[in-house]
Amino acid sequence: MDMKNPKYKNQGIHVDMVVFTVDDKKIKTLLVQRGRKPFVGEWILPGGAVYNDESVDFAAERELEEKTGLKDLYLEQLHTFGNPKRDPRKRMVSVAYLALVDKKKVSILQKTSKTLDAKWFDIKKLPDLAFDHKEIVRLAVKSLRKMLIYSNIAYTLLPCQFTLPELQGVYEIILGEKFDRRNFRRKFLNLGLIEATGKREEGMANRPANLYRFKAKKYKAVDIL
Amino acid sequence: MDMKNPKYKNQGIHVDMVVFTVDDKKIKTLLVQRGRKPFVGEWILPGGAVYNDESVDFAAERELEEKTGLKDLYLEQLHTFGNPKRDPRKRMVSVAYLALVDKKKVSILQKTSKTLDAKWFDIKKLPDLAFDHKEIVRLAVKSLRKMLIYSNIAYTLLPCQFTLPELQGVYEIILGEKFDRRNFRRKFLNLGLIEATGKREEGMANRPANLYRFKAKKYKAVDIL
DNA sequence: CCAAAAGTGTTAGCCATACACCCATGC
DNA sequence: GCATGGGTGTATGGCTAACACTTTTGG
């Protein structure tokens, strides 16, 4: 490959993160408000340029922490968007990532030096997004639904200890479908992914639910439904 | 984003294609022999640089045709490889694609002006590959197996008309597993993805097999196994 | 005692699996 | 007629899906 060829010059690589959480019976995603041209003031996915000396995966982690303060969350490459017109300034390829986080961590969106104004949005009520970011979110939702059905990824969306109704809620909210409580419970317990902690919920004005935990907090392909 | 920042300068975008076919009871992939430094003479995946004015997906099609003469085949984005050291020359991000082709088209590897010396290799007997291409092939095989189980993608690997034993062969070869003929047949016919053409195989020294075709030649997510 | 949400068991139908013999063709 | 590979049916066990009442807690 000829480095000087103008056909290839001045290309840029970007990462964009779609961070999802389930909160208040909605799927929510984190958006930040853009401070620079073009699209000043519009909402965009958190993300930024990949540096020359870091891997693209690392850039995703770094940018997410710099722009939102979130770190150590589940992060997976989703798709690469490469339309030459997607950024009006220059050829910019964006590697999109899907990130999942438990709603308990949602509140600790601390500000760092580079943190922008970040806000969680119900994915059914997204504002207009700059660039092709709406398309990226759409693909991320599709992927999230598949992952939920074909893996144990729900562990990333729940606290260490959770109740079966909470787990079922995550499935119902994301898939937009109701499940029979008895069948859901039996199915999930038979899969062997979770175990009872022996503890129970407290302080509810009703019968307290048993608490469970995932045996392994690591991605595993499993047919759930 | 600051265009002049040396942190981002001189990045390159590449596409690499893993083309699979099933032939002679093996999964085979197409490799080309590298003509330039570095790694002269080593085998690599077909691919090349993305031009500024084309989409990454289009670059994949273009490069595949230029380097191998193959066109109009099933092509799907697989993963983006972004280790900063993966290319010793400069920061080069590679978007890997998975391509699938029916073995009947394998023979018509016509040479075009830019066509390199291309050859099909049994994936169990690959030569050393330059860059991180072996890792890319490994990931592609994993993805192929998943796709076969969770979609109708087998249509891309078979001619228009095919016999059920041929179809079963594709599954057995790719998944490395034997299936019961009667159960496989019943399962696949019940899925409603294929239909009998009414024709039969000819010229075999045994009972001729019925020919089937896929009702739709378009990717569809379906749980097959 | 009332409201709210959690927990529990059974049945019926469907699907997956395992398994062995006959059929059509070319030579 | 024989060798080769293709086509077919049945029985069993396990999983899925549908369904309603009882339990525990706080107020």
Looking at every residue in chain B, the average pLDDT score rounds to 90
Tell me which amino acid residue A114 is.
Answer: K
Closest-CA distance, B206 to chain A, in angstroms, reads: 40
The 3-state DSSP class for residue B106 equals helix
In the block, residue with structure tokens 């830019």 = B114
Which one of 3.30.530.50, 3.10.20.600, 3.90.79.10, 1.10.20.10 gives the CATH number of domain B12-133? 3.90.79.10
CB contact under 8 A, B82 and A51: no
Report the protein residue whose CA lies nearest the C1' of nucleotide C10. A182
Does residue A140 register a pLDDT over 60?
Answer: yes
pLDDT of A115: 62
pLDDT of B89: 85
Q: Which CATH architecture has domain A12-149?
A: Alpha-Beta Complex (3.90)
> Picking from A65-74, A113-122, A123-132, which range would have the lowest pLDDT averaged per residue?
A113-122
Does residue B133 register a pLDDT over 60?
Answer: yes
In the block, residue with structure tokens 């419970």 = A185
CB contact under 8 A, B49 and A8: yes
Pairing of strands A194-200, A162-163: unpaired
Does residue B2 register a pLDDT over 60?
Answer: no
The topology (CATH level 3) of B153-214 is Arc Repressor Mutant, subunit A (1.10.10)
CB contact under 8 A, A48 and B77: no
Suggest the residue from B51, B80, B81, B91 to mutate for an interface test with chain A (most A CBs closer than 10 A): B80
A181 pLDDT band (50/70/90 cuts)? very high
Residue A149 CA to D25 C1' — how many Å? 34
Residue B100 CA to D14 C1' — how many Å? 36
Q: What is the mean pLDDT of residues A26-50?
A: 88
Residues of chain B positioned with their CB less than 8 A from the CB of A146:
221
Does residue A132 register a pLDDT over 80?
Answer: yes
Instruction: Report the residue of chain B nearest A223, measured CA to CA.
Output: B223
User: Where exactly are the structural domains of chain B?
Assistant: 12-133, 153-214
B12-133 and B153-214 agree in CATH topology: no
Q: DSSP secondary-structure letter at A140?
A: H
Does residue A106 register a pLDDT over 80?
Answer: no
Q: Report whether B120 contacts B43 (CB < 8 A).
A: no
Report the protein residue whose CA lies nearest the C1' of nucleotide D4. B206
Nucleotide nearest to B205 in CA–C1' terms:
C26
Closest-CA distance, B147 to chain A, in angstroms, reads: 13
Chain C: bases < 7 Å from a protein Cβ: 3-10, 16-20, 23-27
CB atoms within 10 A of CB B165: 14
The 3-state DSSP class for residue A33 equals strand
